[in-house]
């Protein structure tokens, strides 16, 4: 039995404009048996829309969001701004993990200092990084 089972998340959202990164993240999460369901979005706007649409269905509100920083139209920080406007039942349940390949110290500091961000992780996601969350 995998040691993650007792900590398994019900639903995780992956928000990254890279289909390859979403595939890698989904594969690692499945391999670690870390979540029952994984939903993927290639735009932060679609992620916000999903959360707004599911606001009244507690079973569809994710436990965790893995959020990329660098995305077109609405980047990870723009997503956080929109997320801050969502109802408390969403904001209080969801842990946001910034998962980025950015090596920009300003991005890392901005993510680490944002109260909505639970943790900043550098890509790629690994089983060990999941374990450390």
Q: In which domain, by residue range, is 119 found?
A: 5-132
Model pTM score: 0.91
Q: What is the pLDDT of residue 58?
A: 87
CA distance 77 to 94: 16
Q: What is the pLDDT of residue 59?
A: 87
How many structural domains does the chain have? 1
How many helices (H) does the chain have, and how many strands (E)? 6, 5
52-72 per-position pLDDT tens digit: 999 999 889 999 999 999 999
pLDDT higher than 70, residue 30: yes
Provide the pLDDT confidence category of residue 4 given band limits of 50, 70 and 90. Answer: very low
Under DSSP, the state recorded for 119 is: E
- Written as six digits, the tokens of 42 are 């290639």
**Residues 122, 97 contacting (CB under 8 angstroms):** no
What CATH number does residue 43 fall under?
A: 3.40.50.2300
Of 85 and 104, more confident:
85
3-state secondary structure of 35: strand
């Amino acid at each position: 039995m995998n040691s993650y089972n007792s900590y398994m998340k019900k639903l995780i959202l992956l928000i990254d404009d890279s289909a390859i990164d979403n595939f890698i993240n989904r594969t690692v999460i499945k391999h670690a048996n870390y979540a029952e369901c994984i939903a993927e979005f290639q735009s932060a706007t679609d992620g916000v829309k999903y959360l707004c649409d599911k606001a009244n269905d507690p079973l569809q509100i994710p436990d965790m969001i893995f959020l990329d920083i660098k995305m077109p139209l609405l980047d990870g920080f723009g997503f956080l701004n929109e997320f801050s406007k969502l109802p408390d039942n969403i904001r209080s349940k969801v842990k946001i993990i910034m998962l980025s390949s950015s090596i920009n110290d300003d991005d890392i500091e901005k993510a680490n200092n944002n109260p909505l961000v639970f943790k900043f992780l550098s890509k790629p996601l690994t089983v060990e990084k999941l374990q450390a969350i």
